[in-house]
Amino acid sequence: MRKKLLIISLFTLMLMMFSLQCNDTQPIPQPEPPPKHTGPLYNVGMWIPVGERSATPDWLDQEGGITDVGGTKYMWLKGEGDSVDRTVAMRTARGDAQSRLAESLKLIVNSQYAQAWDALGIGQDESVEKVKQGVIATKTTVTVSDFRVLETHKQQMAQLVKLPQGDPKASDLGKVNIWRYTVKMAIPYSEYKRLREELMSKVKEQAVANERQKALIDKADKALQDIDRDPKEVSVKSTTPKNPA
């Protein structure tokens, strides 16, 4: 009997020791996943900033808007130009802004009319969207006499000739650097109002389909009289992808 009890006790002790060993077993460490790439994505042929550059202004990622400079209101828009020669790059940027004037005007007018409708408590219904689409679709020619440069941004750019491993190195870049100039060009707010009135007159003639849409424009015109006395800042965001900095 005593021998039987001894065997049972030894067996129980062995089970307890085995249990303790199992509890103390450490889990097998799993390899950590490779870190996700969070830097800019590069492609062969793209231009990237190198060398000299001016401070990046907050308007660089916008297409245009309404702004105040020294107490004077302007409608502004952006133009870009590239060249190995600084003077040519600057001239190209100004020409680019001139070519964009009509389309930028339409975007800014739509933004201001949206302000007016919001002030009147008019929501975004189908007629409002039709008017906005009509503004964009209307053909118009814009001529201004007072078109000035408010600010400029410049930076040297180089072209990737092979895909870099990490940050680009000199060996990844082409031998020719260019200058990229971006200009913030503007017209006085009084000139902008004249252009806005001419545009909306054409919208009524060419694009407005019913009385509901005409009434929306007329209501906004009245609300804009108050906005014009002290126009709010308006910014139209750029939809053009930016190169990594």
Each domain of the chain, given as residue ranges in start order, spans 47-234
Pick 233 or 102 by higher pLDDT: 102
Report the pLDDT averaged over residues 64-89: 94
pLDDT band at 56 (very low <50, low <70, confident <90, very high): confident
Tokens 């002290």 — which residue? 230
Q: What is the pLDDT of residues 171-202, one digit of tens each?
A: 778 887 899 999 999 999 999 999 999 999 99
Residue 243: its pLDDT value, please? 46
Calpha distance 197→187 (Å, rounded): 15
Report the pLDDT averaged over residues 68-78: 92
Residue 4: its pLDDT value, please? 53
pLDDT band at 238 (very low <50, low <70, confident <90, very high): low
Helices (H) and strands (E) in the chain, counts: 5, 6
What is the value of pTM for the model shown?
A: 0.73
pLDDT of 2 higher than 60: no
Answer yes or no: are the C-beta atoms of 159 and 50 closer than 8 Å: no
